[in-house]
Amino acid sequence: MATFTLVPGADGRAWFWHRLVPELRARGHEAITMDLPSEDAAGLDEIADAVVAAVAAAAAAAGNSGRSPEPLVLVAQSLAGFSAPLVCERLPVPVAELVLLNAMVPVPGETAGQWWENTGQAKARSDHAAATGRGPVPAFDVRADFFHDVPPEVTEEALSVGASAPPAALFGQPWPLASWPDVPTRFLQGRDDRFFPLEFQRRVVRERLGLDVEEIPGGHLAALSRPRELADHLLRSDRV
């Protein structure tokens, strides 16, 4: 039995995980979700502190209920690849595993704004679009890039509140760690991700972390499109 701390990406809403949480709980595990700060001035420290606060609140509730401590697994979606490593160093309990999900992998001193050009994401996205018959350089479209495999009713619910942009400060702050945290790390990548294509991620993750990606079904928002399969892959670890 494990506790999965689920950190959303650019959207910043706990809602992003609402289809995955029941799948994890049905398998006997617990899940922690949180809304992230949305103020433009909120940077990596504020995001990391919000995650730590959510874990602390859940731990206090578990203590009051008499439950035993469980292995803590940190799951980081997309942009959360910049903030989740900071969380590992701030929690009072060890992180059993850090799982990067269709995530951005930073290097020391790199900003989230620089990451796109440094990794060649735009060309990779364009090449993938051409290879799959969607044109050489399609304009970004949230439905086509992110929600193409998400059920229509879930897509409409997600978009009904309007577009949500992450804090501007996140894109200008250099990644502050000197190296990746000393925490067992896995990388799950959707084979149908149009925004961060699979082969692009294979290269970036190998260069920056020395890891092979674990291919999973679904696109960039696998927690919304393929929650059952994602839960199965999250549990394919001897640490949970």
- Per-residue confidence (pLDDT) for residue 134, from 0 to 100: 87
* pLDDT at 59 (0 to 100): 86
Determine the average pLDDT of the residues in 18-47.
96
Kindly state the average pLDDT of the residues 55-67: 77
Percentage of the chain lying above the pLDDT 90 cut: 86
**Where residue 34 sits, what CATH number does that domain have?**
3.40.50.1820
pLDDT of residue 64: 58
pLDDT at 68: 47
Per-residue confidence (pLDDT) for residue 67, from 0 to 100: 55
Residue 239 lies in a domain: no
| Residue 203 belongs to a domain | yes
Q: What is the pLDDT of residues 94-135, one digit of tens each?
A: 999 999 999 999 999 999 999 999 999 999 999 999 999 987
Instruction: Tell me whether residue 216 is in a domain.
Output: yes
Per-residue pLDDT tens for 77-94?
999 999 999 999 999 889
Give the pLDDT of residue 69.
Answer: 57
In a domain, 227, yes or no: yes
Per the structure block, which two tokens stand in for 81? 């690849």
Q: Average pLDDT, stretch 195-215?
A: 98
Q: pLDDT at residue 229 above 90?
A: yes
With respect to residue 240, please indicate whether it lies within any of the assigned structural domains: no
The model carries a pTM of 0.95
> What's the mean pLDDT when you consider all of the chain?
94
- Is 195 domain-assigned? yes
- Measured distance CA(182)–CA(89) in Å, rounded: 9
Pick from 73, 63, 68, 43: which is nearest to 166 by CA?
A: 43
Domain that holds residue 12: 3-234
Residues 142-178: pLDDT tens digits? 999 999 999 999 999 999 976 668 999 999 999 999 9
Alpha-carbon distance 145 to 92, whole Å? 38
Strand pairing partners for 214?
A: 188
Residue 18 lies in a domain: yes
- Please report the pLDDT score of residue 139 as a whole number: 86
Residues whose CB is less than 8 angstroms from the CB of residue 183 and which lie 6 or more positions away in sequence, other chains included: 74, 85, 88, 94, 95, 97, 98
Q: What is the mean pLDDT of residues 34-40?
A: 95
The total number of structural domains that make up the chain: 1
Indicate whether 63 pLDDT > 90.
no
In a domain, 99, yes or no: yes
